[in-house]
Amino acid sequence: MGHNCKIDGVEGVQVFRGVVLQVLAWGWCGCNTYLVYGNDFPGPDGGLLGEVEAAEAALRDAAERGLAGAAGRQGADEATLRDYFTAVIEADQKIEPRDWMPEAYRKTLIRQIAQHAHSEIIGMQPEGNWITRAPSLKRKAILLAKVQDEAGHGLYLYAAAETLGVSRDELVQMLLEGRQKYSSIFNYPTLTWADVGAIGWLVDGAAIVNQVPLCRCSYGPYARAMIRICKEESFHQRQGYEILHTLSHGTPAQKAMAQDAIDRWWYPSLAMFGPPDTASTHSEQSMAWKIKRFSNDELRQRFVDMCVQQAEILGLTLPDPDLRWNEQRQAYDYTQPDYDELMRVIKGDGPCNRQRIEHRRRAHREGAWVREAAAAYAAKDRVRQEAAA
Ligand SMILES: CC(C)(COP(=O)(O)OP(=O)(O)OC[C@H]1O[C@@H](n2cnc3c(N)ncnc32)[C@H](O)[C@@H]1OP(=O)(O)O)[C@@H](O)C(=O)NCCC(=O)NCCSC(=O)Cc1ccccc1
């Protein structure tokens, strides 16, 4: 399907009816987006892809050493199963769907993975808003592919959540009824084309910093989903960075537009990491279970430290007059985001909360015929297969 061509100096880009499918030259790349600049361009992920690869190797190792397998111990009493669960976590092995797990561990995972899946799906809206207005056909194709990747991430994550005994239908229903959350960041508007760049650089950047440690999460299906998602998010971050780089090296008006986007997205991106550690209700337990590997504040600091030099290369300013290197801490001091605003947005009172959820409800209603057709086809297919067997 499609044909291969060279776009922006990248060989082997597979194109089908004008839409970039994938870069064939990149062995692992299963995603839709592609790299649009040469090797002289600085990679903005701060080496995080290396960490993803290390986590992937650790997953393979865990599978080979195989401490997991508590499924075979289902007959044991609860105390033995609990000891085994603790041993698996302590040994940095993986809990798998059929293993015994405490009910609170299961619930925490369902809450976090579902919230994560909903974020990917709702997160398609702010950028989707710019697909028809992207400044060139090339930019449109890239953005279309990126937004499509987010849908794919949502699907991997719903599938991971389903291994915990909850159905995708139930999860979607909980989102639509406001009983489950999605990330605060997607309740902010995308006012200009530069916002698409800022989302890629800052929002995908924050997402990667948060998600790379999740590749080492103690629950196998979530950890495995995160490996692929992080690789794809790394592309997304680069495409956003490249948009901003182009704008900031363009006309004064384009540079001003890029700066304005950074000014508006910086603090909401810092808030994505959640409340400060002192106010985080779940962190302690989630870290003990090795679902979370770092606290909200640790990850936020890592993100700030990563962004400072990248902003310098972009020639843009992070909107924080108190941002400065602290020699003693070997980290940047920075101004905290407004956590009262975060709480207001989480509770439904952000600039776009109503619009986002209304749009999702409408899309769900309008997609009913597709779900019905798929279910009817599956039922027919089952009958056909049973008849043939
Ligand atoms: C770090 C945290 C978000 C929160 O830590 P926890 O230990 O779970 O909670 P903690 O005790 O600290 O907080 C107390 C309460 O506050 C809630 N809350 C906190 N922060 C937020 C917030 N920002 N927004 C909304 N709610 C928030 C939290 O749920 C809890 O409420 P609950 O008790 O449930 O009612 C964690 O769940 C996590 O790592 N999730 C996985 C990553 C993930 O979901 N990424 C998604 C974005 S990336 C993406 O989509 C990619 C993309 C890029 C571009 C375009 C499209 C897509």
Nearest-CA residue for ligand 1 atom 55 is 123
Q: How far is the CA of 185 from the centre of ligand 1 (A)?
A: 10
- Count CB neighbours of 73 within 10 A: 13
The whole-angstrom separation of Cα 132 and Cα 134 is: 6
Going through the chain in order, the beta strands assigned E by DSSP cover 3-7, 10-16, 19-23, 324-326, 331-333
Comparing 376 with 23, the larger pLDDT belongs to 376
Mean pLDDT is lowest, of 8-17, 126-135, 370-379, for 8-17
Q: What digits encode the pLDDT tens for the residues 348-357? A: 999 999 999 9
119 CA → ligand 1 middle, Å: 9
Residues 252, 257: Cα–Cα separation, whole Å: 9
The closest residue, in CA terms, to atom 5 on ligand 1 is: 274
Confidence (pTM): 0.87
269 CB less than 6 Å from ligand 1? no
For the chain, the domains span 43-65+77-362
- Tens digit of pLDDT for each residue in 41-62? 345 556 677 778 777 777 777 6
What local confidence, expressed as pLDDT, does residue 74 receive? 61
Does residue 337 have its Cβ closer than 6 Å to ligand 1?
A: no
190 lines ligand 1 (CB under 6 A): no
Region for residue 272 given its phi and psi (left: phi exceeds 0; alpha: psi -120 to 50; beta: otherwise): alpha
Position 78 scores a pLDDT of 85
Give me the phi and psi of 324, to 5 degrees please: -150, 155
Q: Is the CB of 281 under 6 A from ligand 1?
A: yes
Return the ligand 1 atom nearest residue 296 CA.
Answer: 1
Q: Whose CA is nearest to atom 23 of ligand 1?
A: 272
Q: Which of 45, 107, 112, 121 to mutate to test the pocket of ligand 1 (most atoms within 8 A of CB)?
A: 112
Which ligand 1 atom minimizes the distance to the CA of 292?
39
DSSP β-ladder status, 10-16 and 19-23? antiparallel
- pLDDT for 73: 57
6 Rama class: left (phi>0) / alpha (psi -120 to 50) / beta:
beta
Residue 204 CA, ligand 1 centroid: distance in Å: 14
Burial status of residue 379 (CB atoms within 10 A of its CB: 0-12, 13-18, 19 or more): exposed
| Class (C level, CATH) for 43-65+77-362 | mainly alpha
Taking only Cα atoms into account, the Rg of the chain, rounded to an integer number of angstroms, comes to 22
DSSP state of 190: -
Q: Cα separation of 113 and 346, whole Å?
A: 17
Give one DSSP letter per residue of 27-69, joined into a string. TT--SS----S-TTSPPTTTTHHHHHHHHHHHHHHHHHH----
Tell me which residue has its CA closest to atom 18 in ligand 1: 274
Is the Cβ atom of 274 under 6 angstroms away from ligand 1? yes
pLDDT in tens, 199-229: 999 999 999 999 999 999 999 999 999 999 9
Q: CA 165 to CA 296: how far, in whole Å? A: 28
Mean pLDDT, rounded, for 180-192: 98
* ipTM score of complex: 0.98
Does the pLDDT value for residue 15 go beyond 60?
no
Residue 34 and residue 23 in contact, taking contact as beta carbons nearer than 8 Å: yes
Joined together, the tokens standing for residue 312 give 């310098």
